Structure 1
Amino acid sequence: MFHFSTLSPWFEDLNFIERVEVFIVTLASLQVKQTIIKQII
């Protein structure tokens, strides 16, 4: 993970958008992991 402190100048303006992006990426990664596990099993 990158440090949010270095991105603070614009992170405050895009706080909500950034949270949404992180949420979507997290869901996508979880779905990919579940798909891989199902393929292995």
Structure 2
Amino acid sequence: MKKQRKYFAYMNYIAIFATSNREFFEALQNKERERNSLVS
């Protein structure tokens, strides 16, 4: 039971981190897309 609670806390942290850094992740994905289009 304790392990499950730890897992949920971890997932909650990930969700908060992802939403607060959404712009950063989107910019990162855009850079990846640009690099891929340059290669192909």
State the TM bucket, normalised to the shorter chain. 0.5 to 0.7
CA deviation profile, 1:1-41 (whole Å, cap 9, x unmatched):
xxxxx6523110110000000000000001001xxxxxxxx
The TM-score with structure 1 as length reference comes to: 0.57
Q: How many residues align?
A: 28
Q: CA RMSD in A?
A: 1.5
Equivalence map 1:20-35=2 (5 Å): 20-33=27-40
Q: What TM-score, normalized by structure 2, do the two folds share? A: 0.58
Structure 2: 5+ residue stretches without partners: 1-10
Distance 1:31 1:8 in 2: 32
Percent of aligned positions that are identical: 4
Instruction: Please list every run of 5 or more consecutive structure 1 residues that lacks an aligned counterpart in the other structure.
Output: 1-5, 34-41
1:1-41 correspondence to structure 2 within 5 Å: 7-33=14-40
